């Protein structure tokens, strides 16, 4: 399958008179790996929320995997998120006392699948992220990097075509960060479109495409720069 997985045209988002995003255009092709980078308050978290359909723009159009977000009901947006978008956050959102296997299997809680099937799928996904030997461990028995890999396993459980990772290495040491970044690259090589939101310029510089945002506007896009020969 080819085509655009993210299409933003003239997207603006305002909150109580403050403009968080201003006339943003962004196209991401299926299978890309890129970073959206900017300092705190630059608008990158708002952009994440727009792309993840967690917020609607004040103006402009948003298409995700071919779906025009403006035309979808809240139920339709929920369905789109459930089938198309995986989310990974800096905080791992793992409940104390819940084994890694069940934390991942719970991602299919509303799928209608029986518990045995959910756990079998969770096992396969945990092995995919290199945690086959830790699936029966609880959060307090896991390192920070392992917790993030559990969170990534939960995010890619249904093989969504788009993975949004918000500061995925922000709570990790340098060694764990390298492991998580390599996992994200591996997922991308297997066909997942991966967008990493970060303030870390080193991480961004190591990816095929870097989109820099400042004061709610895209300041620089290495893809566009290459296309025009800058």
**For residue 114, what are the CA distances in angstroms to 94, 100, 105, 192, 194?**
22, 18, 10, 26, 30
* Cα–Cα dist 95/3, whole Å: 37
Confidence (pLDDT) at 1: 46
Per cent of the chain over pLDDT 70 is 96
Confidence (pLDDT) at 141: 97
Residue 68 belongs to domain spanning: 4-227
**pLDDT at residue 225 above 70?**
no
Q: Determine what percent of the chain falls in helix, strand and coil, rounding each to the nearest 5.
A: 40, 30, 35
* Cα–Cα dist 136/100, whole Å: 6
Sign of CA dihedral 90, 186, 161, 47: positive
**pLDDT at residue 5 above 80?**
yes
Higher pLDDT, 6 or 201: 6
Quickly tell me which residue has 């959060």 as its tokens: 139
Confidence of residue 107 (pLDDT cuts 50, 70, 90): confident
- Written as six digits, the tokens of 131 are 């945690």
SS3 state of residue 166: strand
Q: How many domains does the chain have?
A: 1
* Cα–Cα dist 100/141, whole Å: 10
Sign of CA dihedral 68, 72, 78, 83: negative
Question: For the segment 144-188, what is each residue's pLDDT rounded down to a tens digit?
Answer: 999 999 999 999 988 899 999 999 998 899 999 999 999 999 999
CATH number reported for the structural domain that contains residue 26 in this entry = 3.40.50.300
Confidence (pLDDT) at 86: 94
Sign of CA dihedral 171, 176, 180, 181: positive
* Cα–Cα dist 106/154, whole Å: 8
Confidence of residue 117 (pLDDT cuts 50, 70, 90): very high
């Amino acid at each position: 399958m080819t085509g655009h997985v993210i299409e933003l045209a003239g997207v603006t988002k305002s909150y109580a008179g403050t403009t968080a995003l201003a006339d943003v255009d962004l196209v991401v092709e299926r299978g890309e790996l890129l970073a959206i980078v900017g300092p705190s308050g630059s608008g990158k978290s708002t952009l994440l929320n727009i792309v993840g359909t967690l917020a609607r723009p004040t103006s402009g159009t948003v298409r995700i995997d071919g779906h025009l977000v403006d035309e979808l009901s809240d139920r339709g947006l929920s369905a789109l998120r459930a089938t198309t978008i995986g989310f990974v956050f800096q905080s791992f959102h793992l409940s104390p006392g819940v084994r890694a296997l069940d934390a991942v299997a719970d991602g299919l809680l509303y799928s209608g699948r029986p518990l045995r099937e959910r756990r079998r799928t969770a096992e396969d996904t945990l092995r995919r992220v290199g945690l086959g030997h830790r699936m029966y461990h609880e959060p307090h028995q896991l390192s920070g990097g392992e917790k993030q890999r559990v969170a990534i396993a939960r995010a890619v459980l249904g093989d969504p075509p788009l993975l949004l990772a918000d500061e995925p290495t922000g709570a990790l040491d340098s060694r764990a960060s390298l492991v998580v970044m390599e996992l994200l690259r591996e997922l991308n090589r297997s066909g997942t479109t991966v967008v990493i939101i970060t303030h870390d310029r080193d991480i961004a510089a190591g990816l095929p495409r870097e989109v820099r945002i400042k004061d709610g506007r895209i300041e620089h896009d290495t893809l566009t720069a290459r296309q025009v020969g800058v």
